[in-house]
Structure 1
Amino acid sequence: MTMPDQTGQPAPGQPPVGWIDLTIQGSHMTSNMIVPTVLLNGHKMPTQYGRNVFPVPPGHWTVEMYAQWTWKFGKASLTCDVAEGQTVPVFYAAPMTGFSKGAIGHEKQKKPGVLGFVLLMVFLLVFIVGLVALGVVAG
C-alpha cells in the first residue's frame, strides 16, 4: 500500500487509508520477554513494544491482543471504526500475572493484576518466614 502524502491523503488513484496507532505498553524488562500478539480483523501483525502504526482501509476494525509464555494470557479486544484520513489511538497493557485479562482502550491503560501479584508475593514471604521460624524453633 502506498503511504499518503504530507496532507494525510492518499496519492491520486490509491485506495483511501486510515491508521490504527497501537501502543503496546511496557518493555521486555517490565512486561514479558515475548512481545504480545496483535490481530487486526483476525490477521496477525508484526509488532514491537511501544508505538506501532498500521495503515488500514477505512471501516470497522477489531483489535485483538494477548501475551504468551507457555500459554496465552492477557486476552483483550477492542472494536473501532476508522474513517478515511483518521488515526485511531489504541493502548494495550499486558497483565502482571498469567491469570488476568489484559487492558485495552483508546487511552493509556493501567497494568492489570498488580494487586494479585503483590498479595501473592506477601503470601510467599510470610510462608518462607514461617518455615524459617519453625526451623529455628525446632532446631
Structure 2
Amino acid sequence: MTMPEQPGQPVPGPQPVGWIDVTIQGSAMTSNMIVPTVLLNGHQMPTKYGRNVFPVPPGSWKIDMYAQWTWKFGKASLTCDVAEGQTVPVFYAAPMTGFNKGAIGHEKQRRPGVLGFVLLMVVLVLVVAGIVALTI
C-alpha cells in the first residue's frame, strides 16, 4: 500500500535545471594568487581560474564577483535569467590594480586598469633610474 502525496511536498524525480558557466580570466601567475570569489544570489561558490559551471534552478540570478588581497577589489555584478536547459556564459576579468572595478559580461572581457598599471610601472622605473643616476 502506497502513501498518498502530501500537499506542498516536492515531487520526487529530476528537477528542472540550467547552468551558469563562469569563466574567470587569467591565472595565479597573470592575475592574483587568490582566485576571485563568485557569489550566486549571495551564496559563495567554489571556484578556480578558467571555467566554472554551476547547475542552478531556472530563474533570475545575481552574480557578484570580486578579487581579494588585503582588501576586496575588482567588484562587479551581473543579473541574468536562466531558462530550463539553458547555459548562460559569464566572463570576469579582475583589474590590473586594486583601485579599479572588475569587468563582467556575457563575452570575454578586457582587463580594467591596464593604462594605470603601465603608468605606475613607468613612474617606478623613472624613480629607480633617478636614484641610480644620483648615486653614480
Q: TM-score, with normalisation over the residues of structure 2?
A: 0.89
- State the match for 1:35 in structure 2: 35
What's the counterpart of residue 50 of structure 1?
A: 50
Return the alpha-carbon distance in structure 2 between the equivalents of residues 47 and 135 of structure 1. Answer: 48
Deviation per CA, 1:6-28, whole angstroms, max 9, x where unpaired?
Answer: xxxxxx83211100000000111
**What amino acid maps onto 1:80 in structure 2?**
C
Secondary structure at the residue paired with 1:39? strand
Alignment of 1:83-122 (within 5 A): 83-122=83-122
Q: In the alignment, residue 24 of structure 1 is paired with which amino acid?
A: I
RMSD: 1.0
Q: Distance in 1 between matches of 2:104 and 2:51?
A: 14
- Amino acid of the residue matched to residue 87 of structure 2? T
Q: How many residues align?
A: 125
Equivalent residue number for residue 82 of structure 2: 82
> Could you tell me how far apart the structure 2 residues matched to 1:119 and 1:28 are?
23
Q: Which residue of 1 aligns with 2:126?
A: 126
* Alpha-carbon displacement from aligned partner over 1:41-97 (angstroms, at most 9, x marks no partner): 000000100000000000000000000011000100100000111100000001111
Question: Match of 2:98, as an amino acid?
Answer: G
In the TM superposition, structure 1's runs of 4+ consecutive aligned residues that sit over 2 Å from their partners are none
Cα deviation per residue 1:92-113 (whole Å; 9 max; x = unaligned)?
0011111111000000001111
The 5 A counterparts of 1:2-17 are 13-17=13-17
List alignment gaps of at least 5 residues for structure 2.
1-11
The corresponding residue for 1:71 is 71
SS of the residue 1:76 aligns to? strand
- Show CA shifts across 1:103-130 (max 9, x none): 0000000111111000000001111111
* Unmatched runs of 5 consecutive residues or more in structure 1: 1-11
